[in-house]
Amino acid sequence: MFIGAAGLHAPAAQAARAVECIVPAKPGGGMDGACRMIRKALPLATEDAPVKISYLPGGIGAVAWSSVVSQRRGGADTLVTFSGGSLLNLAQGKYGKAAVSDVRWLAGVGVDYGMIAVRSDAPYKNLRELIDAMRSEPGKITVGVSGTVGSQDWLKVAMIARRAGVDPRNFRFVALEGGGDSFTALQANHVQVISGDASEAASSAKDGKFRVLAVLSEQRLPGVLAEVPTAREQGFDVVWPIIRGFYMSAHVSDADYQRWVAVFDRTMATDEFKRQRATAGLYPFAMTGAPLTDYVRKVVEQYRKQSQELGLVR
């Protein structure tokens, strides 16, 4: 896939400009993985102009969003990764008085799925055993989630609990900053369960320190997690897809924005990108420019309605 910069029909000087990929979380999670995938895949990722990854955690994406919207960060070659969780936070007003139109939605590069994991030495062998334990002693088991009450990781657990007839408000949740932070907390036994994303689990579960109890996909996922049953298989009809992608500053010129749309369109059409996407634990989803913007607008509105129904927002 590593096509040359000449394939972009851009001047050599333009191809040599440094590219920054901002991760709105700490290292090690799914957002970090998206930037690392793009660093390997983008045709602009040359020795003269490597893709620099910068970490800007805080507020589960709010700090990065504010920095880009206010123009403190975010030039013509700055990409910011986002996830379905970012869209949920936007829908719930966790980015302040923010709107979909505050940024330029560039590319959706893949879809991830939710998962529930414990340490490998935990007594729970499946999701049913975990939920039964949480029902009997809800204050004993601490669940680590990215974000606070109402975040997508919280909602994953809440939806499973409701399917089991359990009130999730009785559970103990700990707010963490991204998937990398969640697995670190789980390994240290600061939390006994984490709700996160399958791509994070695929990279973290290889060393045998963790056990993934369920993936929140329609069917079992290929690859490292192929033996992990879905929540549906275990009697909990919960599916949670998570788009991953990139946005840019709204102040970027139309020419620069369209240049990047073309870069992603060409990149995502190649076999090498598809291999990199699979390696990152993501599944097919490719959308750029105006279609992606329309998709994001619809998803944010859907999340807003769901959050209102759950009493999370007015």
Which CATH architecture does the domain made up of 113-234 adopt? 3-Layer(aba) Sandwich (3.40)
- Summarize the confidence of residues 19-25 as an average pLDDT: 93
Give dist(CA 264, CA 150) in Å, integer: 32
Higher-pLDDT residue of 39 and 29 is 39
Q: How far apart are CA 252 and CA 105, in angstroms?
A: 11
Instruction: Render pLDDT for 249-285 as a digit per residue (tens, 0 to 9).
Output: 999 999 999 999 999 999 999 998 999 998 888 999 9
Domain boundaries, the chain: 5-112+242-309, 113-234
Report the pLDDT averaged over residues 164-169.
88
Strand partners, 211: 118
Q: What is the model's pTM?
A: 0.78
What is the band of 117 on the pLDDT scale with cuts at 50, 70, 90?
very high
Confidence tier at 290 by pLDDT (50, 70, 90): very high
* Listed range (65-74, 282-291, 302-311) with the worst mean pLDDT: 302-311
> pLDDT grade, residue 4 (50/70/90)?
very low
Share of the chain above pLDDT 90, in %: 59
Calculate mean pLDDT across residues 59-70: 89
**Average pLDDT, integer, range 146-174:** 88
Q: Give the pLDDT of residue 16.
A: 53
Residue 314 clears pLDDT 80, i.e. is over it: no
Rounded Cα distance, 134 and 25, in Å: 29
Q: What pLDDT digit, counting tens, does each position of 184-196 carry?
A: 999 999 999 999 9
pLDDT of residue 157 exceeding 90: yes
Whole-number Å distance between alpha carbons of 116 and 196? 6
pLDDT band of 49, cuts 50, 70, 90: low
Q: What pLDDT does residue 179 have? A: 76
* Predicted local confidence at residue 180, as pLDDT: 80
Superfamily of domain 5-112+242-309: Bordetella uptake gene, domain 1 (3.40.190.150)
Asked if 68 contacts 249 with a C-beta cutoff of 8 angstroms, the reply is yes
| Token representation of residue 274 | 């598809």
SS3 sequence of the chain: CCCCHHHHCCCHHHHCCCEEEEECCCCCCHHHHHHHHHHHHCCCCCCCCCEEEEECCCHHHHHHHHHHHCCCCCCCCEEEEEEHHHHHHHHCCCCCCCCHHHEEEEEEEEEEEEEEEEECCCCCCCHHHHHHHHHHCCCCCEEEEECCCCCHHHHHHHHHHHHCCCCHHHCEEEEECCHHHHHHHHHCCCCCEEEEEHHHHHHHHHHCCEEEEEEECCCCCCHHHCCCCECHHHCCCCCCEEEEEEEEECCCCHHHHHHHHHHHHHHHCCHHHHHHHHHCCCECCCEEHHHHHHHHHHHHHHHHHHHHHCCCCC
Q: Would you state the structure tokens that stand for residue 6, as one six-digit string?
A: 């000449």
Residue 103 has pLDDT above 90, yes or no: yes
